[in-house]
Amino acid sequence: MAASENAYVAVLDSKKRLTIRGAKYKYYVVRSSSNGVVILQPQKLVPAASISKKSLEMMDESVANLKDGKVSEALDLSEFLK
């Protein structure tokens, strides 16, 4: 695990919220596991208007293929579980 730049103890408030000091991003994907580990992955949301027409068409085609069952074999990601 990488060395942390900023380590501190944080406490949930009465609404079970946690404040991130000096947060560099507004949005995060939150992953929590049963052993209590919480991972925050920063995200930058992009307005839909800034996505090209071709990209939107490709996404529509991909979703249609998924719905039609046109999918590849599942990837074996077991090596990353170590």
Residue 3 lies in a domain: no
Q: Residue 13 sits in which domain range?
A: 8-69
Q: How would residue 2 be classed by pLDDT, with cut points 50, 70 and 90?
A: low
Overall domain count for the chain: 1
Model confidence, pTM: 0.48
Residue indicated by tokens 């939107």 = 56
CB count in 10 Å sphere of residue 12: 9
Residue 53 lies in a domain: yes
Residue 77 lies in a domain: no
Q: Can you point out the beta strands (E) in the chain?
A: 27-32, 38-43
Residue 82 lies in a domain: no
Helices (H), the chain: 53-67
pLDDT for position 47: 81
Residue 51 lies in a domain: yes
If you count them, how many residues does the chain have? Answer: 82
Exposure string of 28-57, with b = 16+ CB inside 10 Å and e = fewer, is eeeeeeeeeeeeeeeeeeeeeeeeeeeeee
